[in-house]
Amino acid sequence: MDVLTLSRLQFAVTAGFHFIFVPLTLGLSVLVAYMSEIVKDEESS
């Protein structure tokens, strides 16, 4: 494998992780905040 192929492979792996984990992290933080508000509302009732 030459340097160009390895560089493209490295970029593909990095972009893949970014594509998966950034939306997952942001989505889960919003979901956790929403669910904690629901639980607080149910506990106060």
Instruction: Provide the pLDDT confidence category of residue 45 given band limits of 50, 70 and 90.
Output: low
Place of tokens 């979901």: 31
Give the pLDDT score at 40.
Answer: 84
What is the overall mean pLDDT for the chain?
A: 92
DSSP sequence for 1-45 = --HHHHHHHHHHHHHHHHHHHHHHHHHHHHHHHHHHHHHHHHHH-
* Mean pLDDT, residues 22-38: 93
Give the pLDDT score at 1.
Answer: 86
Rg (C-alpha) for the chain, rounded Å, is 19
Give the pLDDT score at 36.
Answer: 92
Amino acid at residue number 16: G
Give the pLDDT score at 41.
Answer: 73
Amino acid at residue number 29: S
**What is the token pair recorded at 15?**
């972009």
* Mean pLDDT, residues 35-42: 85
